[in-house]
Amino acid sequence: MNHKKLKAIKVFYDGQCPLCSYEIDFYKRQEGSSTIDWVDVTKADPEELPLGLTQEIALARFHVVTRKGELISGGKAFSSLWLSLPKFKWVGRLFKFSINAHLLEAAYRIFLPCRPILQRLMQKKQTD
């Protein structure tokens, strides 16, 4: 995979997760989103995934390939996404370095076990 062709970053997300899709759709409507390559991992060809990222791994955590071609996940990935969107640059900067980056990653790790519950609630809400 040639990461030098990236406009800004490449975002890997779970398109079958209603929670993830809702959030990604929000980001896609933001100024600057056209500079981001959005990849729904559930529809992606395995060859589209960077070395070291399988579909299973990509579905378990949020992943981004940076402009420099670095594969990152979790809080760092969100910070990278936010830095790519003009309205969110300030929050990306806030969480890019220092203790804030560790706090964001800790919050993300706390969220992950809750994700299946939130997914079920969103699916139920969509079917009601």
Give the gyration radius of the chain's Cα atoms. 14
Instruction: Kindly report, residue by residue over 63-76, the tens digit of the pLDDT.
Output: 999 999 999 998 89
Instruction: Kindly list the domain boundaries of the chain, sorted by start residue.
Output: 3-127
Instruction: Kindly report, residue by residue over 17-34, the tens digit of the pLDDT.
Output: 888 888 999 999 999 999
Residue 34, amino acid: S
Q: d(Cα 68, Cα 88) in Å, to the nearest integer?
A: 20
CB 120 within 8 A of CB 17: no
**Does pTM surpass 0.85?**
no
